[in-house]
């Protein structure tokens, strides 16, 4: 079979995967703290008939770490992180990380995210406040005070740039490398990291860009399909021309 057929078919597989990431990103445009999913493509070189042929791979997906827009809500339990930091919440198999800073207070005073997971402090312990203790103030360093008393601190973590992030659900991800808790926001390298109370971060999905990608993928897929049809047609013509006479 002609190698061109393998190339075009592998391209269609790669485009289908890219289409799935675009669909997921568009579906989560309104998900607070959502980080877009992107795909990296590379070529695998093989030899066919003594010639190098590049075959498209489905690509490897990764979670984009670009910041989303910061939106003012004035809700005291909404926070946004300015800079490359993540909140930590308790997952089923250990801590997971999220940029969705919308929190809620249980009847017992436990701080939880909107999915009911406990919000953790820098040491990985659940946070709690007095449910009848009055207004909650969250400082730019994550320190939580209530009635002038310090009640704890939000765990703000940095994730290794080389870590693989796997989506857990919604805006949360798990990391192949445990996050590093930020303990001193005034330390060199941490000065750009700040917690903002009364704000939330929107999805970092560019809707215009995603729609442009969708159009490009559709047209490219149609071109690949036409190339497959042309390849099959030429192969059939070759068989008819070179086959034994009846």
pLDDT in tens, 58-84: 567 788 899 999 999 999 999 999 999
147-183 tens-digit pLDDT = 889 999 999 999 999 999 999 877 899 999 999 999 8
Average pLDDT over residues 44-67: 62
What's the mean pLDDT in 143-147? 94
Three-class SS of 79-128: EEEECCCEEEEEECCEEEEECCCEEEECCCCEEEECCCCEEECCCCCECE
Contact 232, 223 (CB under 8 A): no
Phi and psi at residue 196, in whole multiples of 5°? Answer: -120, 115
Average pLDDT over residues 11-23: 78
Tokens standing for 93? 């198999």
Contacts of 234 (CB under 8 A, 6+ apart): 2
In this structure, how many other beta carbons lie within 10 angstroms of the beta carbon of residue 73? 16
pLDDT of residue 45: 41
* pLDDT the model gives residue 74: 96
Lookup: tokens for 99: 């940029």
Task: With beta carbons less than 8 A apart as the criterion, state whether 171 and 31 touch.
Answer: yes
Output the six-digit token pair for 201: 């971060």
Look at the pTM and tell me if it is higher than 0.75. yes
User: CA–CA distance from 40 to each of 15, 114, 119, 234 (Å)?
Assistant: 12, 32, 32, 32
């Amino acid at each position: 079979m002609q190698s061109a057929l393998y190339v075009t078919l592998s391209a269609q597989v790669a485009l289908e995967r890219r289409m799935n990431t675009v669909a997921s990103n568009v579906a989560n445009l309104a998900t607070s703290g959502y980080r877009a999913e992107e795909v990296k493509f590379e070529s695998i070189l093989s030899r066919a008939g003594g010639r190098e042929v590049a075959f498209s791979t489905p690509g490897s997906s990764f979670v984009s770490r670009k910041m989303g827009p910061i939106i003012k809500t004035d809700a005291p339990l909404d926070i946004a992180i300015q800079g490359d930091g993540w909140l930590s919440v308790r997952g089923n198999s250990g801590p997971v990380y999220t940029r969705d800073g919308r929190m809620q207070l249980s009847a017992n005073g436990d701080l939880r995210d909107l999915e009911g997971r406990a919000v953790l402090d820098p040491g990985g312990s659940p946070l709690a406040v007095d449910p009848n203790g009055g207004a909650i103030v969250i400082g730019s360093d994550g320190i939580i005070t209530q009635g002038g008393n310090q009640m704890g601190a939000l765990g703000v973590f940095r994730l290794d740039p080389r870590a693989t992030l796997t989506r857990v659900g919604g805006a949360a991800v798990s990391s192949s490398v445990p996050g590093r808790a930020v303990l001193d926001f005034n330390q060199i390298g941490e000065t750009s990291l700040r917690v903002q109370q009364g704000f939330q971060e929107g999805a970092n999905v560019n809707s215009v860009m995603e729609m442009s990608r969708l159009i490009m993928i559709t047209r490219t897929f149609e071109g690949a399909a036409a190339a497959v049809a042309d390849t099959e047609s030429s192969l059939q013509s070759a068989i008819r021309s070179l086959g034994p006479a009846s």
